Structure 1
Amino acid sequence: MSDVKNILLVGVGGQGTILASKILSEGLVEAGYDVKMSEIHGMSQRGGNVSTQIRYGKKVYSPIVGKGEADVIVAFEKMEALRWIEYLRDGGKMVINDFEIPSVPILMGQAEYPTEILEELSAKASVLAVKAAEIAQSLGNSKAMNIVLLGALVRAMNVEGVDWKKAVASSVKESFIELNLKAFDAGYNL
């Protein structure tokens, strides 16, 4: 059996998915793991989806996570969680931002945002729903929701021997360090 762990981070362009992935990868490297990361930006600057695949373990040969292989999926938006559920392995975990970003068809009135997404996903997997945008806003800036989700993910992963606060601080602008450290703690302590 492989010791490699598979994580997917999925969201919409502008949510900070890639920054969270880079901080996570940096921390895992610091902990001594071999880490491979792959990111896909599908029209991300126009509100399209963004996905990052991270694999870590003693020796990792590929950054690609196949269907049914993800140990954890972190969804920065609820509909993205629904789109990627087929990548979660049996017994896997989902950390989901309880947050909605309507797609273009929804904004144009051609479709409706799906209801009861969290309930549907909870029937299929272990789900931690996080109101990351609200938590980040209460700290001073809703854009820190990515770091709130990162904190929740790190707690769910239970990886020891990493100075996560150092990884966060070294990855954000100096003027945002304090906010992001508070956001990380808020997510970690959920």
Structure 2
Amino acid sequence: MTKNIMIVGVGGQGSLLASKLLGWLLLNEGYDVKVSEVHGMSQRGGSVVTYVRFGEKVYSPIIDKGEADLIVSFEKLEAARYLDYLKPDGTVVVNTQQIDPMPVVTGATVYPQDLIEKMKVAGANVDAMDCLTLAREAGSEKAVNLVLLGRLSRHYDIPIEHWQAAIEACVPKKFLEINQRAFLLGRNTKLDGEN
């Protein structure tokens, strides 16, 4: 059975490295994997969406509305924007960071309030974490992507050593230590009410 993960974020946040790392990991787990950057502008601030599909045999890289098992979101508004792609029993792993899109910056509109609660009310399983603070703790704001992947790793039964091998394969050596720390902070940080 094919599993579908959407990675959504804003240009410049490292979502493409996250999808590359996830693709590498899943290939090495023996799955057929299709990764596709669908929308997006590589410059900072534009919306970026990547589809990662894996299973015994995957024929198309595209995820349609209502098909995503999991959405990994670098920002709250991006998570809300793509919520209709989530399956009824799907999960959203979301960084609670707020990045104002251009219409908010220019004053044309306001940033929506209570997005995490609204996603829960809409029926999504929401796993929300302040990934930016943890990335800073790891040593770089740019490590939000690895904090998110650490959080994502809790939703899959793949040994931590395999995740660590993927990080070593995909992250440049000079950033490896920070990214490894960020991954472990995302994976091991307990949220209120968690065991």
Amino acid of the structure 1 residue aligned with 2:45: G
Aligned to 2:149: 150
Aligned to 2:184: 185
The Cα of 1:44 is off from its aligned counterpart by: 2.9
Moved more, 41-50 or 147-156: 41-50
Relative to structure 1, the CA distance from residue 132 to residue 68 in structure 2 (aligned partners, 3 Å threshold; closer, same or farther) is same
Where structure 2 has 5 or more consecutive residues not aligned to the other structure, the ranges are 190-195
Aligned to 1:130: 129
CA deviation string 1:18-74 (max 9, x = no partner): 100000010000000000111135223041110000110111111111100000001
Aligned to 1:15: 13
Preserved CA contact (<8 Å) 1:35 1:55: yes
The Cα of 1:160 is off from its aligned counterpart by: 4.7
Amino acid of the structure 1 residue aligned with 2:177: E
Taking only aligned residues, the RMSD between alpha carbons, in angstroms, comes to 1.3
Amino acid of the structure 1 residue aligned with 2:117: E
Q: Following the alignment from structure 1 to structure 2, what is the Cα–Cα distance between the partners of residues 44 and 103? A: 15
Amino acid of the structure 1 residue aligned with 2:128: A
Aligned to 2:193: none
Amino acid of the structure 2 residue aligned with 1:106: V
Q: Following the alignment from structure 2 to structure 1, what is the Cα–Cα distance between the partners of residues 156 and 104? A: 34
SS at match of 1:157: coil
SS at match of 1:44: coil
SS at match of 1:6: strand
Aligned to 1:82: 80
Q: Following the alignment from structure 2 to structure 1, what is the Cα–Cα distance between the partners of residues 32 and 138? A: 34
Relative to structure 1, the CA distance from residue 67 to residue 41 in structure 2 (aligned partners, 3 Å threshold; closer, same or farther) is closer
Preserved CA contact (<8 Å) 1:7 1:55: yes
Amino acid of the structure 1 residue aligned with 2:107: G
5 Å-filtered alignment, 1:86-125, equals 86-123=84-121, 124-125=123-124
CA deviation string 1:132-178 (max 9, x = no partner): 11101012111101000011112112235861111111211211111
Q: Following the alignment from structure 2 to structure 1, what is the Cα–Cα distance between the partners of residues 149 and 12? A: 16
Aligned to 1:171: 170
TM-score, normalised via structure 2 length? 0.93
Q: Following the alignment from structure 1 to structure 2, what is the Cα–Cα distance between the partners of residues 98 and 29? A: 30
The Cα of 1:75 is off from its aligned counterpart by: 0.7
Aligned to 1:65: 63
TM-score, normalised via structure 1 length? 0.95
Aligned to 1:26: 24
The Cα of 1:105 is off from its aligned counterpart by: 1.1
The Cα of 1:9 is off from its aligned counterpart by: 0.3
Q: Following the alignment from structure 2 to structure 1, what is the Cα–Cα distance between the partners of residues 160 and 73? A: 25
Moved more, 14-23 or 157-166: 157-166
Amino acid of the structure 2 residue aligned with 1:37: V
The Cα of 1:131 is off from its aligned counterpart by: 0.5
5 Å-filtered alignment, 1:21-60, equals 21-60=19-58
